[in-house]
Amino acid sequence: MSAVNPGRRALDGVRVVDLTQALAGPFCTSLLADQGADVVKVEPPRGDFLRYAGPFASADEPRDYGGVFQSANRNKRSLVLDLKKPEARDVLLRLIDDADVLVENFSAGVMERFGLDYDTLIARNPRLVYASIRGFGDKAGGVSPYRDWPAFDIVAQAMGGLMSITGADSDHPVRVGSGVGDTVPGLFAAFGILAALRDAERTGQGQYVDVAMADAVLAISEVVVNTYGHTGQVPGPIGNQLQGFAPFDTVRAKDGVVALGAPHNPQWTKLAAVMGQSELVDDPRFATDHDRWINRDAVYEVVNAWTERHTVAELIELLGGTVPLGPILDAADIFADPHFRARDMLPTVTHPTSGRTVTVPGIAAKLSHTPGAIDRRAPLIGEHTVEILRESGLDTADLTVLVDAGAIVIPSSQEPVA
């Protein structure tokens, strides 16, 4: 394997115009920025509303730069344009001329009303990859009867099937604790963008990447589709278990619980040996993967009777590296765990107003030659307006006209335009 080249990134030279707010879109474009894409975050004068959501430290004032915003907008530059103004839309078109990708997550029809729809932009820049993330998609991927419905993460989790199989029972459906109704669509959008960029390199022709949040959640709810599609049965919540697999659950320890998975014969055989009960392998109730699932109550009775005689630490010592087992790590545990330190999953950036060091999630996809980096904090609102517009060829007189028209907002900390 050749040496890592920290000075080169996989998406160097790719320009992304980012019109997204909230989490799904910014998460998508942050993945591109981590790999070197020049992501120009175009914000309205009030800024991305995610700026005003926490978490905040007690000393964070003003409260317009929350922790989730920091994480989802690292490595980007911010430009403020009021797209309700025709002059601002003209500026955006200048940016499109030099862009490789545009990403937006407005409600359906907004870009058409701005005169910035896919057909208009692709006529201007035929190689442009245009991506949208909406609750129920847009017309490119098939017109949903819910196309005009607004959506949040919890709606996507509910309608994408994930909540129907999450929780202890069907009377108490549970949303997955993190925003997978946003981040998973962001992942699919990033994948689609990279695939479309590859095709544009070959053909010179861009295309529309249409991602629905509900579709993305359904795509990872394999139990929903596979069970009903093959058996006609509607699966419901079964806690921490997984349909068809046993043991595959949390099990009791003397001082807590651990996650354990030994559902296949090789793992079950190893578990039985460590437990000192190798005879379980020949027990007809447990002879196959399917038998263990059908007789899962008996499986868990046997396993829990053994695990609850040991502490979590003892179970890790006995089973770690032998069968899939892990402790339930909370945030403090994760920050102290050597795995995440070794994998650089907790990098830090500097808060722009307090100057304190804050942690953001690291880059999960480790590329051997172009690993990417998180080396730029999320921008202040409009922090790079003048810089970006000067790169686009606008001079001081042009900037003054735009300011007077209310099309752009330049923070007082930036150079004067007149």
Identify the pLDDT of residue 57. Answer: 86
Catalytic residues: 182
Q: On the CB side of 128, how many CA atoms lie within 13 Å of its CA?
A: 25
pLDDT along the chain (418 residues), means of 10: 62 98 98 98 96 88 90 97 97 97 97 97 98 97 96 97 94 95 98 98 98 98 95 94 95 98 98 98 97 98 98 97 96 97 96 91 96 95 96 95 94 68
Q: Is residue 222 classed as helix, strand or coil in its secondary structure?
A: helix
Give the orientation angle of helix 24-34 with respect to helix 180-203, to 10 degrees: 50
d(CA 72, CA 240): 29
Q: Note whether 101 and 36 are within 8 A (CB).
A: no
Using the Cα atoms of residue 80, residue 84, residue 85 and residue 86 in order, give the sign of their dihedral: positive
Residue 188 Cα distances to 14, 142, 355, 360, 371, angstroms: 19, 17, 34, 21, 20
Burial class (CB in 10 A: 0-12, 13-18, 19+), 177: exposed
**DSSP-assigned beta bridge partners for residue 40:** 17, 77
Identify the pLDDT of residue 1. Answer: 36
Provide the pairing of β-strand 348-350 with 357-359. Answer: antiparallel
Of 391, 389, 400, 401, the closest CA to residue 80 belongs to 389
The model's pTM: 0.94
